[in-house]
Chain A
């Protein structure tokens, strides 16, 4: 008797229900579910889920740092290797001009930001897809999954900043006194990165093959972003548009000015980057929340 029951539902709409009561063909339109986001409630939920974020991040970190030496090495190896290559190619061959600042330091600052972004993007994009079984069984605000990956990337970034400190020693310079400017830039960096991770994570659930785009974005991005070269290399009249699309450009440039050159970041560029990353964050969040309701259906 197993096989015969499955498909009956479709042709019975609007007819007699089994119990003899008439069921309408569809729900009344005014009752169709619409997602309403109440900021207070959302914030409250997210705050309540902090344990979960911590536990998820801890799990990733623990898996990676099980062998403490290697785990640590992975966090610094990639940026250091890239840094070495950039020094050879861009400094020696292309002759990027960095003024009084050693090129290696110049490139490494950019690489820390880039590495943070690409880690969060790559891991964050898969964070929902990899946890579908959990998503299907227990309720939590789903944005915690990309958030946890960003937390992991933050730990890696902290290690990278430690290495940057060592580099200052090696090159016998000190971070400039203007380094406090880094803080607002950090906020912009986090906002933009999280926005992108939110968009990609939910996109990957619905379109599994989007994940194949990630390596392409990563590889093109490292050259399309002023990591190896200064923002000034981008034609002057395009700079504002560029920063609007990719706030990381202004963020990296700002860090360099603040940490290495002892200047304040360009106000106009920073404002554009801040506005743009806010758009990415809010837009990404709304996009995420809109599509979030269907995740369990397709899991």
Chain B
């Protein structure tokens, strides 16, 4: 095992981490009880794996997006990289200074002022007081804290704590920057500035590991994606492939959620292109045909939406229908499909109008996926986040 990796390298080899599965109150009397039970031959400890067999090799300067559903072990992995947590087994080697922002106010001491915290954190990173002082103004300027810098951090709003935490982590020139979905508490402007800053430090050669459920943001920062599922690495590839796989799995799960006992059900759906052909093309006509079944009679609003990967739709259209009991067929024609190449999910839901306004007849759910053929979307500059893919017909002139 060579120890000469350059600064900024992250290596994990067969890393395993487990937590107690049984309830733990950390009391002496519980321990005594436990010991007594074990003496009587009861099963003693109950563990469950949070991470299993994690092998990662991240080169200096790489930017890696770590994605996965809740509880998949992302934060646990980051905590082990910062050495806050220790693995059960395996080798973890992170070279160089680590700037970490795990949860809001990572590394921030609530009883100290913002100023003291900056120096404290610098000291924790192994910087001299003088070195911190040299970057102090940048940090305060970036965090836009103004006079609050001399106030105790516990009186900061969560956004302010995050600003300070991020500014400190990103400006004290760590070799490795670990960011765990904290940007969400910042306002839109600050989020963008954070992404910009991450791109900047990435270009200066800092290794970045970015955890977020904001997939477009991850895509805009990272070149490589690691998708964790139930504590194992499911995909470790280019960011696009990792995200695509992850999005597909999200959709597969939401489809699997059965809705029982609702007045209406979607019996059949069809998405077809021009002249009934199966392939859909960007900027060409598309017909969506739905068949609803159920006993409900009366007026209702039918909603139709299209999303990419997440549950927030790119667009949503609705239509009033009159249900008369029995099967109901409704078709919607979109003359020019505004979606670039990709895989999309169709969502639908029906809600009543009239006496029980907004009552759910068929809850909003994904009906299925369809593929669109056509041009790829142009790549935005790094750190610029596209809210949703939309194809806009356009022409350039010079």
Chain A count of residues within 8 A CB distance of the other chain: 48
**Interface check B70, CB cutoff 8 A:** yes
User: What does DSSP make chain B's interface, helix, strand, loop or mixed?
Assistant: mixed
Give the contacts of A14-60 with B (CB-CB under 8 A).
17-19, 23-24, 26-28, 31-33, 35, 48-49, 51-52, 55, 59
Asked if B83 contacts A55 (CB within 8 A), the reply is no
Cα-based distance from A121 to B53 in the complex (angstroms): 41
Cα-based distance from A298 to B121 in the complex (angstroms): 24
> How far apart are A109's CB and chain B's nearest CB, in angstroms?
34
Asked if B26 contacts A298 (CB within 8 A), the reply is yes
Asked if B124 contacts A140 (CB within 8 A), the reply is yes
Known: A55-B116, A135-B84, A139-B98. A31 touches B89 (CB 8 A): yes
Contact of B87 among A12, A33, A209 (CB under 8 A): A33
For A55, the closest partner residue in chain B by CB is: B120
Contact of B124 among A59, A139, A206 (CB under 8 A): A139
Asked if B26 contacts A208 (CB within 8 A), the reply is yes
Asked if A138 contacts B49 (CB within 8 A), the reply is no
**Interface check A183, CB cutoff 8 A:** no
Known: A1-B254, A5-B69. A139 touches B28 (CB 8 A): no
Known: A1-B254, A297-B19. A27 touches B106 (CB 8 A): no
Asked if A19 contacts B235 (CB within 8 A), the reply is yes
**Interface check B386, CB cutoff 8 A:** no
Cα-based distance from A91 to B40 in the complex (angstroms): 55
Asked if B14 contacts A137 (CB within 8 A), the reply is no
Give the contacts of B87-129 with A (CB-CB under 8 A).
87-91, 98, 100, 102-103, 105-112, 116, 119-121, 123-124, 126, 129
Contacts of B26 in A (CB 8 A): 205-208, 298
Contacts of B25 in A (CB 8 A): 208
Contacts of B69 in A (CB 8 A): 5
> Which 10 A-B pairs give the minimum distances between C-beta atoms?
A51-B123, A27-B89, A138-B107, A293-B86, A27-B16, A137-B106, A207-B28, A139-B83, A296-B85, A32-B89
12 examples of A-B residue contacts, CB within 8 angstroms:
A12-B230, A17-B52, A18-B230, A18-B234, A49-B123, A52-B123, A55-B116, A138-B100, A139-B124, A140-B124, A207-B31, A296-B86
For B71, the closest partner residue in chain A by CB is: A6
Q: 16 new A-B pairs (CB below 8 Å) besides A2-B70, A55-B123? A: A13-B49, A17-B232, A17-B234, A18-B234, A48-B126, A51-B120, A51-B123, A55-B120, A59-B109, A137-B100, A137-B107, A140-B124, A206-B26, A208-B26, A208-B27, A209-B27
Contacts of A24 in B (CB 8 A): 53
Asked if B84 contacts A136 (CB within 8 A), the reply is yes
Give residues in B with beta carbon < 8 Å to A.
Answer: 13-14, 16, 19-21, 24-29, 31, 48-50, 52-53, 69-71, 79, 82-91, 98, 100, 102-103, 105-112, 116, 119-121, 123-124, 126, 129, 229-235, 253-254, 257
**Interface check A134, CB cutoff 8 A:** yes
Asked if B84 contacts A27 (CB within 8 A), the reply is no
Contact of A9 among B49, B53, B88, B89 (CB under 8 A): B49
Contacts of B29 in A (CB 8 A): 209
Cα-based distance from A208 to B70 in the complex (angstroms): 29
Give the contacts of A93-142 with B (CB-CB under 8 A).
133-140
Asked if A296 contacts B84 (CB within 8 A), the reply is yes
Contact of A1 among B21, B111, B253 (CB under 8 A): B253
Asked if B123 contacts A23 (CB within 8 A), the reply is no
Asked if A137 contacts B103 (CB within 8 A), the reply is yes
**Interface check A294, CB cutoff 8 A:** yes
Known: A138-B84, A209-B28. A27 touches B71 (CB 8 A): no
**Interface check A8, CB cutoff 8 A:** yes
Contact of A137 among B24, B84, B231 (CB under 8 A): B84
Cα-based distance from A23 to B55 in the complex (angstroms): 12
Contact of A138 among B13, B16, B86, B124 (CB under 8 A): B124
For B249, the closest partner residue in chain A by CB is: A18
